[in-house]
Amino acid sequence: MIAIQTSLQPTWTPERIELLKSYFESGLSCRDIAVSIGVSRNAVIGKLSRLNLTRTTPGERRARRRKSAGLTAPRATAKQQLRMLQAVYEPEADDAPIVSSNSCSLFELNEQRCRWPISTPGADDFCFCGNTPLGGMPYCSGHYRLAYQSGPRQRVAR
Binding site for Zn ion (CB under 5 A): 114, 116, 129, 131, 140, 143
CB of 158 vs Zn ion, minimal distance in Å: 22
Q: How far apart are CA 32 and CA 94, in angstroms?
A: 58
Residue nearer to Zn ion on the CB measure, 16 or 143: 143
- Secondary structure (DSSP) of 112-154: TS---EES-TTSTT-EE--PPPPTT-SS-HHHHHHHHHHHHHH
CB of 128 vs Zn ion, minimal distance in Å: 8
CB of 102 vs Zn ion, minimal distance in Å: 9
Residue nearer to Zn ion on the CB measure, 20 or 103: 103
Q: How far apart are CA 94 and CA 117, in angstroms?
A: 19
Q: Is 55 left (phi over 0), alpha (psi -120 to 50) or beta?
A: beta
CB of 70 vs Zn ion, minimal distance in Å: 56
Residue nearer to Zn ion on the CB measure, 47 or 115: 115
Helix (H) or strand (E) holding 66: helix 58-70
Residue 90 is given by DSSP the state: G
Q: How far apart are CA 113 and CA 131, in angstroms?
A: 5
Residue nearer to Zn ion on the CB measure, 24 or 116: 116
CB of 135 vs Zn ion, minimal distance in Å: 14
Residue nearer to Zn ion on the CB measure, 43 or 129: 129
